Amino acid sequence: MTSLQQGTVDTFKEQFAGSVFEPTDAGYNEARQIWNAMIDRKPALIAKCSSVEDVVSAVNFGRDQSLLISVKGGGHNIAGNAVCDDGLMIDLSQMKDIEIDVEKRRAFVGPGCTLADFDAAAQMHGLATPLGINSTTGVAGLTLGGGFGWLSRKYGMTVDNLMSVDMVTADGRQTRASANENSDLFWGTRGGGGNFGIVTRFEFELHPVGPELLSGLMVFPFIQAKAVVTQFARFTETMPDELNVWLVIRHAPPLPFLPESVHGQPIVALAICYVGDPEAGEKLIAPLRSFGDPHGEHVGVQPFVNWQQAFDPLLTEGARNYWKSHNFVKLTDDVVTVALEYGDELPSPHCEIFIASIGGQTGRVAPDAMAYSSRDANYVMNVHARWETPAEDERCRQWARAFFDAAKPHASRGAYINFLSEDDTDRVEFAYGESYERLVEVKGKYDPENLFRINQNISPH
């Protein structure tokens, strides 16, 4: 802020329809807070946009004043890329317009929408697109990094269902990108993060889903973890695309279907979602119950929007979070051994290891079709360290790093950029693999001065 004249800021405010916060303004501290409490950055200005014109004004102002720029959609990114120190934070969270074209099965979604917003609008018509698993996540950040969730084995990554974007580029131009318009930009946007501009509208393909489907949890004692995880690894290799099963190792939350004596105890849980006829799904998931002697289960037919919110209580904002992640083609016995070793040493009751099954349709797209290239990743493991106080920082981060290092020899190429923490900048090129050099070219064309660099950055140089 020291390099800005107050008159320059006042002029910007006058032509900006949304809200602009300076550090001394009421509401500034609330506006700069994001999901991960580890991030405590203080922008010089926060511009809450109400329209595309506001986005253009903010980009032009930030560029012309040589300000560092960060962009907030849902504010859920683990690395805290929504907020910067001493620069301009462009906040899109008020831009929540959604339009559903039922006949064409298309959704037009604003950059401030959360998964809950999108799911609710689409499910009114029995439609959905693959998104994540935490309803408070922003659609924008999830999509730009690739995006996957319960529907991905059947319908692909989120970016596989992205049809077009409207974007404000670094020079302040409003640009459309699709397979037929600025196709190089569209290629890079599908997985390249926020490197090329600020997306102001997403167009998605929709699919018939629900609105009710078979889903739920089976919970086993950790003492049976080896049998459960080993059988999970083999079962998921042959399950049909309509079925998705994820595995979670953590301490048991106070779920109402579990005995009180189990609450707080180490467990292994199987999270299940079946996109199809529930009776057929029940037959497919029956073998899962024989993986061990369950503490309990809660599996049945429920609204998809409810299942999409099932994990929200474990992922509320305000906690301290640190993630490390690997992709795997196969969950070998070595991977299982490492997961069990570190699952037995959870440093906080909020820490967890989850292994997401993807594969299916996600692996049938050519690796060079778009920026997201990890098409051989049948599993994504997230080492999710989560805790409450700064005093726990070192212990919890060290556990996650040690687990990451131990699992690394067994991981496949690539990484999921949405799971990269702020100290993972050295993994960006590795994450993109063979797509990286082409991404550098696209970056050089659309953002040659690297204006948008508070992200998993692709340098244009």
What domains are there in the chain, each with its CATH number?
A: 6-91 (3.30.43.10), 98-209 (3.30.465.10), 212-425 (3.40.462.20)
Residues 6+ apart with CB under 8 A from 436: 428, 429, 458
pLDDT digits (tens, 9 = 90+) for 440-455: 999 999 999 999 999 9
Where residue 65 falls among pLDDT bands split at 50, 70, 90?
Answer: very high
The rounded distance, in Å, linking the Cα atoms of 339 and 325 is 12
pLDDT digits (tens, 9 = 90+) for 415-429: 999 999 988 888 999
Instruction: For 96, list phi and psi in degrees, rounded to 5.
Output: -115, 20
Residue 150, CA atoms < 13 Å, CB-side half-sphere: 27
Strand order in the sheet with 296-303: 296-303, 212-221, 266-274, 243-251, 352-357, 379-387, 320-328
**Pair of tokens at residue 457:** 């950055």
With beta carbons less than 8 A apart as the criterion, state whether 324 and 404 touch.
yes
What pTM value is reported for the model? 0.94
Positive or negative torsion for Cα 179, 180, 184, 188 = negative
pLDDT at 4: 76
pLDDT digits (tens, 9 = 90+) for 241-267: 999 999 999 999 999 999 999 999 999
**Pair of tokens at residue 34:** 């994001």
Among candidates 145, 157, 162, which has minimal Cα distance to 204?
A: 162
pLDDT at 369: 97
